Amino acid sequence: MRIKYFSDTDTALLEFSDKEIAETKEINENIYIDLDRDGNLVSMTIEHAMKQANIAELSYCPSFGHIILVSH
């Protein structure tokens, strides 16, 4: 899994796999998910990420193998 944050547009991109995207679905006007041909999640885009996800900090804990999102 890869997480990319673009501060100039306040956009977060969460990539779950490298599979080819077959379809993009709009969850709401700021959240989109990309699916492969089998309907599996490939990635998620969050526009206005700081507000939409209420995230103040993002950190990864490799010893536990998970990501911690800290809200405001």
Residue ranges of domains in the chain = 2-71
Q: What was the pLDDT predicted at 18?
A: 93
Single pTM value for the model: 0.74
The size of the chain, in residues, is: 72
For residue 35, give the nearest of 53, 21, 54 by alpha carbon.
21
Q: Give 21-44 pLDDT, tens digit per residue.
A: 999 999 999 999 999 999 999 999
Which amino acid appears at position 10 of this protein? Answer: D
pLDDT recorded at residue 30: 94
In the chain, what are the helix, strand and coil shares in percent, each to the nearest 5?
5, 55, 40
Look at residues 15, 16, 32 and name the one whose alpha carbon lies nearest to residue 24: 32
Measured distance CA(9)–CA(40) in Å, rounded: 27
